[in-house]
Amino acid sequence: MSTHVFIPEVQIIKGNFFPVYEQYLKDWRINAIRMAEDGKVSASICLQATLIDLLIDGKINHDWKGIMDEHLAENGIPLSYSESYGKLLYKFTAQYKQSTIHAIHTKWWVEQITDTTKVDHTKFAELILAKRQSDGLIYDKDISETILRHRMKTELTMSAAMAVEIFRASGALTKKLAVELATELVSPIKCPALGYMSMEYFRSIALLIMGKENLFPVGIENYIDSCSEGLSVGWCDFAMKSKVDAYMGTAKRTQRDKPIHSPLIACYISSLAKLIKDVNRANSVLSRLTKYSIHLRANPFDIPAFQMRDIPLNFGIDKTPIEIICASHLISKC
């Protein structure tokens, strides 16, 4: 059995997907293999392709570790994008060479799945520790110089969750380090509660891994409820009314954005619901979760993409293997 910190509570084992998604997953994997043959790969593609291998075949049938070694590494350091993949992105050729925390964690995870006995956990832990900043948090400042106040808080908590998972495996997660990281993760200045479900999920997982889950901020149920506003089913990652422009300090530029529901976010909320102290509030969340699962069973491909204001094009894609895997997990529960 395999699990991944990005998709909570989901067992990555053979056959654990809703049958209607099988062809989508196979087609996605075929396309990923074709791209890899041309060297057009990213850490995200390799991760999702590995997940598909495990779900469909119960084992890795394509050498994704070898592909990462060949195209997504420089001097043994994991990279997010290959040079050929970077050329596919607009004005990205000169900056494709990025070793992010996500890329490091992905390589670490894929190596474990491929052969857990040969993973150098210490090497990966050292790469992550080098990302620790003077403010005490761990994030990719070497990739982006964005100041802490303007950085996406989901980046901060996801980076922390991935980091401490590697630290635990390597033995680097000392009591002192756990206390220091946990303190920064609950700082109202550095990581204030903003109502982003992805941010709060990763915060909760990082604290859980460090044995500091009692420090998780109270009131998550209020944020969960606000993320359902404007939606007949499911939840958005955040409440639209709280989305403001960081520089203008106003919602003027975002007021016409529309909320979308997401199977991935619903899985995050399923995990966060365990932290709700009020039984009635917790049951209310679980009831909505059940209704969403029933909706997905009846409408399995109702997985929308985000749209900005009145722009008719999708901002990103809608269905991804990650969303499909989460939708399957939810459907299996109803």
Task: Give the range of the structural domain holding residue 174, as residue numbers without chain letter.
Answer: 120-216
Which helix (DSSP H) or strand (DSSP E) does residue 54 occupy?
Answer: helix 43-57
**Of 214, 232, 215, 303, whose CA–CA distance to 267 is shortest?**
303
Instruction: Output the six-digit token pair for 11.
Output: 């067992």
Same domain? For 144 and 89 the reply is: no
Same domain? For 229 and 330 the reply is: yes
Same domain? For 306 and 226 the reply is: yes
Same domain? For 125 and 113 the reply is: no
Same domain? For 27 and 113 the reply is: yes
Same domain? For 103 and 125 the reply is: no
**Which of 216, 249, 283 lies at the terminal end of a domain, its last residue?**
216
Using alpha carbons only, give the angle 101, 103, 106 rounded to the nearest 5 degrees: 105
User: End-to-end alpha-carbon separation of the chain, Å?
Assistant: 22
321-332 helix and 43-57 helix, angle to the nearest 10 degrees? 40
**Which of 201, 216, 231 lies at the terminal end of a domain, its last residue?**
216
Mean pLDDT, the chain cut into blocks of 10 residues (334 residues total): 86 96 97 96 97 96 96 96 86 80 98 90 98 97 92 96 98 98 96 94 98 96 96 93 53 62 97 97 98 98 71 57 96 91
Domain tally for the chain? 3
Same domain? For 145 and 162 the reply is: yes
Which helix (DSSP H) or strand (DSSP E) does residue 74 occupy?
Answer: strand 73-74
Which helix (DSSP H) or strand (DSSP E) does residue 103 occupy?
Answer: helix 101-115
User: pLDDT, tens digit, for every residue of 75-96?
Assistant: 999 999 999 998 887 666 667 8
How far apart CA 29 and CA 20 sit, in angstroms, is: 16
pLDDT for 307 equals 53
Q: What's the predicted TM-score (pTM) here?
A: 0.92
**Which of 85, 118, 151 lies at the terminal end of a domain, its last residue?**
118
Same domain? For 250 and 315 the reply is: yes
pLDDT for 9 equals 86
Same domain? For 3 and 25 the reply is: yes
What count of Cα atoms within 13 Å lies in the side-chain half-sphere of residue 190? 19
Same domain? For 7 and 61 the reply is: yes
Spatial CB neighbours of 111, under 8 Å, sequence gap ≥ 6: 65, 118, 119
Same domain? For 210 and 294 the reply is: no
Widest CA span in the chain: 54
Same domain? For 27 and 7 the reply is: yes
